[in-house]
Each structure stands twice: as C-alpha cells, then as structure tokens.
Structure 1
C-alpha cells in the first residue's frame, strides 16, 4: 500500500487535481471545516502492485492499481479499467469521481477504481483470463475485494467476461462464503448478474439529457424548445456507453447527426442510422466510408465541432479542452465519459452560455444498476420473483370484476397490458429512471437555491454535503 503522489511520476498528470479543484469550487458554496474537506478529497487507500505473466515463451510484468477513495460508506465501489494508458493519477481521479457520483444518486457506496496497464487487443483470451485472475488474487490477498469491502465492476476495456473470471476466482479463494457473488457486479445473468446492467450507463445518460432539455426555462435561454424531439446530437465513442446512449436517445425522439471514433468521424445533418453504422463498422473495421454520411473526417476531433444541439462525449477523459472548446457548435454537453471536459474548457463553454450535464451525474446509471445487482446477490432473490405472479393474479381479478360489473370486454392484448406483472428488467429500468430524474432536479434545485454557476459545481455541492453529513453521523467529524 502506498501514498498517492502523482507528481512523483516522470509524466505530469492532472486529472486527480482537476477533480479536487471541483471540490474546492463547491466548497465556496458551503461552510464545511477545511480539514473535513481535505479528508473528503483525499484517497484513503492506494494499492499499486505488479505481477508477472507468461506470454508465449517469455514473461511480462503487468502493472496494476486499486484505489479506495472514501470509506465514509462501505463497501467501496468502482470499475476496473484495462488500458495501456492507465496511470495512478487517472485511477485516483476516477475513484474520487465514483465517491461523488454515488453520493449524488444516493447509492450507499464509497468510491473506488481499478486499473490494469495493458492493451487487451494485444493478448489472447487465455492470457487475459490469466491476468484478470492474478489481479483478483492480489486484491484478495490485501483485502481489497469482497461484498462488504470493495466491489469492482466493468469499465473501459472490460466487461461481463472479466467480471465472471473475478467472481469465480474470489469464490475459489473464499469457499463457503454465502455472499461471495456480491464481490463484483456487471456479471453475466447466468452468474447472478442483473437484467439491464450492460445498457444501464447509456440509458442513464439518455435519461439525464432528457431531464436537462425538459426544463423550459433553461432551454429558452439557449434558444431551444423543451424536449428531445428533433434535437440534433453528436456522439463521440461507439463502445458500450456511446452505443446505448445513442440507442435510447433515438427512442426518445432525438436525431443522431454525427459519430466520432478513434479512426475518424462521420456527419449527416439529416440523421444517421445507428444500427446501419454499427453494421458498416463491423464489416469494414471503420465508421469511415459510410455511404450515407455527407461528411467524414480523418481527424476525429473535427467531428466534435460540427453543428448540433447536444454533444455527447462518451469515450475517454480530456476530449474537450481549451484548444477546441471555442470551435464547438453544441449548446449542451452531456458527459457520458468520465472527465471528458477539462476545467478550463468547461469554464469557457459556460461563459458562452452553454449547459454541461456533468459526468458524475450523467453516467451514474452503471453504478445505480450495479447497486441493484449487489442487493440481488446479498438477498439471493431476483427482482420480481416474489411478487410478479401475485400482481398479475390480482390485476386479473380486478379486470374480471370490472368487466362483469360494467359489461365492457377488453381484448386479449388490452388485458395483457393491464395485468402484466413487472419483470426484473422493467423494475431495474424503473428504478434507474427514478434515480436519474430525482437526482437531476435535486442538482438543479441546489444550483438555483445557492446561485451556483454550473450544474457540475452544484452536483459537487450536493455530494460534499452528503459525505460531510455521513462523517458527522459516524462521529468521525464534529
């Protein structure tokens, strides 16, 4: 276990400092003790380690991290990122964002994050399994994983497959542990995952943007009409988050006019067909040369600068900077990724009168549904299993009574709609939507009450106030 010291690296990183600067900005709107604020910002535990793996006929050293940012709530919670760009500063920053994210959406976890410094494309499935299982063993040895300690989840470069390897390894090292499967979320359904988890982050981003554009007063200032209908949107990133965000925004009435990926960008002001673009990319290996795109750009960054109402960066951090923010034509930025907008760029965008739906709220759908999965694993009962049939029978009896007393006869389809009990997926989506709706308006209300300059700062004020209250209730701070 080591103390975090980003400046000790040969490279200079600022992501964690950027996150701390947001807390400092939020502190201007509250009256918390400076020592408490310092504790809230600090990473409580930083575990940096390395281990050897066999690759072919040789050995390779893999560098990895797990950061537990805050223990004001237990367990801590956060994904594991597989990327050759991972560094300690990034993992610390993402762990901190998880703390504030959980507080904002009232999920009772402290923040954590993990990172493995590899490019998954350079390894076979067997090698990736070996790396993931060894990573889990290292976490287990140091007590950095467990259903009541620290619960990982998927992140950039990882998914259900990796989570199943983690769960299996933890089970093997903890025989007889009744709640062992709660050690990780984002698992396949067959391994007691939960319906709706894969698309949860993207669905949450879509709900967040929908709530933002639903406020007529705010849209009037931007010269936009309320609602998503007809809004032109550019999405950066066609991974899990970007794809599902696009899918649900389209279902809510928006028009996707541009997609940006690492190989380039495409644009059509009349709209692009998401599934057709995905099909083209699978066949050709690129979104470029798509026949229905009116413009394409070899430089992906140029795609962000095309005309639109809403820009959704759903790839990696630091995509919108002081260098390109002045060329953006969007009026709203909905942050699907973690930290896609630098503080300087955010300030410049707000100065132009734009609205930023901040990442630690907008992409909280993943941790919200992970919370539901964790609860399912601890209760050992799937959502809807106990009540679904009872609800259907009760509704059927009610329909029979109405028909017999009124003489009105419903069609089979009408009866099916009325009497249908909620499935696990429907309950999960309902809980997610309620969380995103309530949280957005809590943030906006705080912004209006305290005359705060941005939704991001207001979100941090909400988070810091809740975390400070937790420390006070624990008796840690007066």
Structure 2
C-alpha cells in the first residue's frame, strides 16, 4: 500500500521541509523581506537529536530516536506538540516546527514555534513501555524545555496522560511541581477546560467566516471529514449542530457514507466502542479516494500530511477546504485547487485553535487562576475570527491565495520582532 508521504514524493521528490521552505521564499518575496532578516528567520534556531534506551516489557532494552526542534523564539517561548509515530523524521519535525512559528504569529499569541517526535509505534507498546519511553525522552530533551523557553503539547498518538508523565519527570528534576512546562494536561494537573475541543472549534469558527465571505449557508451544507480523530470529530459535531449534514467520514481503518447525513454523536459513540467508524449503522463503506472526491460544500482534511496531492486534487469537488491537519496539501495540489476556484482555509490559520487554547492553559498555570469553559470559547472565537479577517484582508488586497496571505501575516510579524530585537552580539 502506498502511503500519503510516498504519494507526495511523486509530486516532485521533495521532502515536506523542502516544500515548507519554498512557501517561505514565496511569501518573503511578496513581502520584499530584507535579506538579513530573511536569513535570520528562515531556518531553525536549535535541533536536538536524541537516541535513548528503554527497557521493554520482555526485559530487553530497545533504542529509540527522538527529536526536538526550536524553530523560532523571537516572539516568545517555543511552542509545539510531540508526536509518537513510526514514520516520524527530522525533516517532518522541522516542517511542523516551521508551521508552528507562523501559526502562533497569525493568531498573535506570544509564542515561537517548536515541535518534537519519537520514532516508535505506540499501538504496539504497552502503557508501561510508553511511560518509560516518555520519561526517558523527557530527560533527554530536558535542557531545552521549560515554561519560559519551550512548552510541549500533545500531537499524533500522544495525549494528556503523556503530558502528565512529561510534567512529572520535569518536576522531579526541578524538585517542585511545574505545571506550565506542558499544555494539554489533565484538568487535575493544571490543564485547561476546553482544550480537548480547541482545534475542532477553531476549524469551525474559521469555516463559519469562509461560508459568510462566500455568501453560502451552513444550514444544509454537505460536509466531508477525512480523519475522524479529535479535531475531525469535534468539527463534525459543531457543523451538525449548525445545521450542516456530515455525509462522510473516515479514519485509518476505513470510511462511512450517507448522503442524507450521518448522526455524528452516535458515530462518535460507535467509534469509542469499536475503535473505528467502520460498520456504523445506516451508512455504507467508502474508500479513502472516493471520500476525497465526493461532491460537498466543505471538505475537512483532519489526518496526516499530504492527503491532498497532485494525484487527487483535480478530483476534489468541494467549495471550501478547511485544513484541520498540518500540511495536508502539497504545493502542486495547491495550484490545482486554486485553478479550480476552491477556497482553502490554510492549516496555519484553520487549526490554530489548539495552540490558542494551549496559550490560555499556559497563562492560567503561570498565574494560578483558571477560567471556565464559556470564557475559553468566547476568547477563542474572537481570536480565530479576527485572525481570519486579517488573513482575508491580505488575500483580497494583494490578490494572493489564502495560504500565501496567512504566511505573509505570520512571517511579517516574526520579521518585525526580529527587526526590533536586533542581532546579538
């Protein structure tokens, strides 16, 4: 079976990081960015590669490789998740840290960009093995992380429990509890209300704005969700509540389709019970390729990178693409979608709800004062919709794609911070 990454490589044999740098150069050119500042912010500040042993349940020691990348700290501490996945590469982590840098700037929160990852398959590991791996990885990256310099969070196949282990390991090294070292923690350890819905809500809020801009209506709109994980399922639930029809979703095991609409809450319950959307009552199976080609108003790619590539972009029949995943569209696919007139809400804007509420969590931990869910959602909606309007204004004024407009906004803000801070020494 060909993976999405392998498909993407066929688009031009470029790594995901190479493609990210190409986008940076295009945005920097449009901004007429000063060469010195361009050189200053284009590349990551720090890259740490660690190889560490973990004792497995069978008594044998196994070595793992992990990464932590700090792309920029010009506007504040590095911020970004840690993913556990067998296909994690340094290039991927660099690209993800790159995107986090501009994402934080776009929503105008005082963070820079970071990311981490460990090459492993958590689906094949016990809870004990995952805990030992997490604690050892934390010890290895300890010199880089901290509430004032680099704040990890959950990502692919990591969760609040993993964040609790990171927080505890860091706190043991410090000698006192430091809840602000990570976000996405359990509520009982200083986590924030609303964090579990943050990314999906951000997707929904920005899509609301896109629908309004295009003169469409959410009531009765057909929605397709590729990747029914946390972000995808929350977005689907909110679309349904707004009167839209979620006609198809899938996960890593398969997909389901009903043109009259799926019952999202029952589908979430079904997945929680069975581990997949497969076999959901009153639905029919649908392949990943057919799902992406369905005629719909809103397509939400909410899985891994490069889901939309040169091979399938021409078959997409959506009016709006709301990028809940990081890097779901290759540059070649972007050009095809633009020619087709598809309105794309780029990932660095669309899925920034997660890092925004992570910022709220960090603030609450640092000031030891917590907000209720209503306050969180009100502030999140305000920030996401304001960011959408700022990107849309650049899109309309400069006659560039929404993706390029988002990069221009984010890169411009980081460039301004670097310019004001100057060059040390």
Give yes or no for TM over 0.5: yes
Q: CA deviation at 1:301?
A: 2.5
1:1-12 to 2 correspondence within 5 Å? none
In 2, Cα distance between equivalents of 1:88 and 1:77: 17
Q: CA deviation at 1:30?
A: 1.2
TM-score (norm 1): 0.84
Deviations 1:49-83 (A, max 9, x none): 11011111211111100000012122110000011
Residue in 2 aligned with 1:257? Answer: 247
Residue in 1 aligned with 2:335? Answer: 347
TM-score (norm 2): 0.94
In 1, Cα distance between equivalents of 2:419 and 2:234: 39
In 1, Cα distance between equivalents of 2:289 and 2:61: 38
Select 1:320's aligned residue among 298, 308, 317: 308
In 1, Cα distance between equivalents of 2:275 and 2:364: 38
Q: CA deviation at 1:428?
A: 0.7
Check the 8 A contact 1:209/1:357 in 2, yes or no. yes
Q: CA deviation at 1:351?
A: 0.5
In 2, Cα distance between equivalents of 1:260 and 1:343: 24
Select 1:191's aligned residue among 180, 189, 192: 189
Residue in 1 aligned with 2:200? Answer: 202
Aligned to 1:296, the other structure's residue is in SS state strand
Residue in 1 aligned with 2:402? Answer: 455
Aligned to 2:191, the other structure's residue is in SS state coil
Deviates more, 1:280-289 or 1:44-53: 280-289
1:348-363 to 2 correspondence within 5 Å? 348-363=336-351
Q: CA deviation at 1:135?
A: 1.0
Select 1:105's aligned residue among 82, 104, 107: 107
Select 2:363's aligned residue among 360, 372, 375: 375
In 2, Cα distance between equivalents of 1:281 and 1:371: 30
1:231-242 to 2 correspondence within 5 Å? 231-242=221-232
What is the alpha-carbon root mean square deviation over aligned residues? 1.4
In 2, Cα distance between equivalents of 1:372 and 1:468: 24
Check the 8 A contact 1:263/1:300 in 2, yes or no. no
In 1, Cα distance between equivalents of 2:115 and 2:271: 31
* Cα gap change, 1:426 to 1:271, in 2 (>3 Å): same
* Cα gap change, 1:457 to 1:87, in 2 (>3 Å): same
Residue in 2 aligned with 1:306? Answer: 294
1:217-232 to 2 correspondence within 5 Å? 219=214, 225-232=215-222
Select 1:292's aligned residue among 282, 287, 294: 282
In 2, Cα distance between equivalents of 1:283 and 1:249: 23
Aligned to 1:332, the other structure's residue is in SS state strand
Residue in 2 aligned with 1:168? Answer: 168
Q: CA deviation at 1:286?
A: 3.6
Select 1:131's aligned residue among 130, 133, 136: 133
Aligned to 2:157, the other structure's residue is in SS state coil
Check the 8 A contact 2:229/2:251 in 1, yes or no. no
Q: Structure 2: 5+ residue runs without aligned partners?
A: 1-12
Select 1:75's aligned residue among 74, 77, 83: 77
Residue in 2 aligned with 1:156? Answer: 156
1:26-65 to 2 correspondence within 5 Å? 26-55=27-56, 56-65=58-67
Residue in 2 aligned with 1:476? Answer: 423
Q: Structure 1: 5+ residue runs without aligned partners?
A: 1-11, 220-224, 384-423
2:135 equivalent to 1:147: no
Q: Which has the larger radius of gyration?
A: 1
Q: CA deviation at 1:13?
A: 5.6
Size of the aligned set, in residue pairs, is: 411
In 2, Cα distance between equivalents of 1:71 and 1:276: 43
Deviations 1:215-239 (A, max 9, x none): 1xxx2xxxxx433111101001111
Check the 8 A contact 2:151/2:180 in 1, yes or no. yes
Q: CA deviation at 1:245?
A: 1.1
